[in-house]
Amino acid sequence: MRHDMDLYAGSFEAVRSGLKTIEMRLNDEKRQKIRVDDLVFFHSSKNEYDVIHCKVKELYHYKDFYEAYDRHGKTELGYKEDETADPSDMYAYYSKEKIERYGVLLIRIEKIDDIYLCDGHVHLEHGPLNKEYALRFIEEGIRKGLDEVDILDHSHRFIEFKGCYEHLRRYREQDVWLNKPTKFQNSLDEYYELIEEMRKMDLPIRVKFGLEVCYSSNTEAMLRQILKDVKADFLTGAIHSIDSILYDMPFSDKLLWDVWDSDEIYRRYYEEVSCLIRSGLFDRLAHPDQLKLFGIYPSYDMNETYDRIAKELTEAGMFAENNSGIHYRYGHEDIGISDEMLKSFRRNGVHMVCASDAHKPEDVGTDIHEVTMRNREI
């Protein structure tokens, strides 16, 4: 069985270094399910996708932390040699009443590795909004050895967002696209019903549910009104249009790329990205350099723009996707974001989540291992 736990930065790094080999918790209802040989996934409180896999080796039960501290050395509990181990430290996390009620559980752990394979961007767009279809994506994630699959459908699936797309209808090609059967076919309440049904299942990997919301600065007020009541684990903001023109469609060359100067397209795109970040509406930024999908680039150096976006993301506390979608879906040579953008994000402390942008079950997990290792290596 798998158990996910958050750890504060100091304790997390002590586990990673091998200093801390025992985790201390209340023996509450959730921890009473832990058994020897179970897996524990420790998530850093600074970055939930910085994760250490551990195996449960032994379990110890005590009436309180004073008894526990008497039985175990301070370094295995996570203290440094020059620190004083004081059981009262645990009162910062647990009340005396809860300690008396549940008692204390100490979990001896063995570190396995710290590679966490998450596909943070998976769509049900081309199938029904039901458990059976969602499970096909999750089962593919399990088959490919993923630790997490995040399901998020486009906002243009849901009728509540229909008004946010009216500005695109000024072009016939985009009006035709918005009238396809996959658009505005469900309500958010139907999505919430699926989420609740899935959350009741005992799944071997972590599954989260969100929305990919098409953002434009001229619809921000409408989006703010809709999103204030949304019930999801996270919200991902995406830029798919520039001044009401979609940039990533087969007809985009006719409407945009053959008409506008590429420098102006890039400038306007990243102005919209900045507006998205500053809106405060989102937890994640989708495919931040997807504009390169047709192999068209600006004439100017993008590093200053990347650094500006990176600083804005860090200040906003947002994650950025390292999305492999344009590699296997559009044939672009980059597996994920470009080296230049990735270096800038790492240099500026941007937290990243890996993503495949899968629209079919068989695409879940595509290039996720490669993208994950790129995040770590650069």
Q: Which pLDDT tens digit goes with each residue over 285-324?
A: 999 999 999 999 999 999 999 999 999 999 999 999 999 9
Contact in structure between 95 and 88 (CB atoms under 8 Å): no
* One domain, residues 133 and 29: no
Tokens 């801390």, residue? 20
Looking at the fold, whether 44 and 65 belong to one and the same domain comes out as yes
Q: Mark whether 151 and 298 lie in a shared domain.
A: yes
Taking the C-alpha atoms of residue 308 and residue 328, their distance in angstroms, rounded to an integer, is 28
Same domain, 73 and 191: no
Closest by Cα among 248, 247, 251 to 172: 251
pLDDT of residue 376: 83
- The residue among 377 and 172 whose pLDDT is bigger is 172
The pair phi, psi for residue 4, each rounded to 5°, is: -105, 130
Last residue of a domain, one of 97, 113, 129: 113
pLDDT tens profile 190-226: 999 999 999 999 999 999 999 999 999 999 999 999 9
At residue 378, does pLDDT exceed 70? no
Cα separation, 189 vs 49, whole angstroms: 29
| pLDDT 10s digits, 243-278 | 999 999 999 999 999 999 999 999 999 999 999 999
Q: Are residues 199 and 341 in the same domain?
A: yes
CA neighbours within 13 Å on the CB side: how many for 257?
A: 16
Check whether residue 99 and residue 232 sit in a common domain.
no
Residue 1 predicted with pLDDT over 80: yes
Mean pLDDT throughout 235-246?
98
End residue of a domain, out of 51, 83, 113:
113
Q: What is the pLDDT of residue 375?
A: 87
- SS (HEC) of 8-31: CHHHHHHHHHCCCCEEEEECCCCH
Check whether residue 139 and residue 72 sit in a common domain.
Answer: no
Indicate if the pLDDT at residue 142 is higher than 80: yes
Query: Do the strands 118-122 and 22-26 form a parallel or antiparallel pair, or are they unpaired?
Result: unpaired
Measured CA to CA, the distance from residue 364 to residue 150 in angstroms comes to 10
Q: Do 130 and 44 belong to one domain?
A: no
Q: Cα torsion for 366, 367, 371, 372, to the nearest 10°?
A: 70
Same domain, 204 and 305: yes
pLDDT at 377: 77
Q: What is the per-residue pLDDT for 290? A: 94
Mapped onto helix, strand or coil, the DSSP state of residue 250 is coil
- Locate 22 and state its tokens: 């025992």
* C-alpha span between 102 and 81 (Å, rounded): 30
Domain count, the chain: 2
Q: Is the predicted pLDDT of residue 66 greater than 70, yes or no? A: yes
Question: Is residue 289 located within the same domain as residue 168?
Answer: yes
Q: Is 135 left (phi over 0), alpha (psi -120 to 50) or beta?
A: alpha
Tokens 């063995």 -> residue? 110
pLDDT of residue 123: 97
d(CA 267, CA 269): 6
Mean pLDDT over 348-376 rounds to: 95
Structure tokens at 176: 């035709």
Residues 61 and 164 in one domain: no
Contact 356, 122 (CB under 8 A): yes
**Lookup result for tokens 């000024």:** 170
State the first-to-last Cα distance of the chain, in angstroms, to the nearest integer: 33
pTM of the entire structure? 0.92
The CATH number that applies at residue 63 is 2.30.130.30
Range of the domain at 19: 2-113
pLDDT for 20: 95
CATH number at residue 324: 3.20.20.140
> Each residue of 3-15: pLDDT tens digit?
999 999 999 999 9
pLDDT value, residue 191: 97
Q: Which of 82, 113, 144 is the last residue of a domain?
A: 113
Does residue 96 sit in the same domain as residue 175? no
Question: Average of pLDDT values for 19-27?
Answer: 95
- What percent of the chain has a predicted confidence (pLDDT) above 90? 93
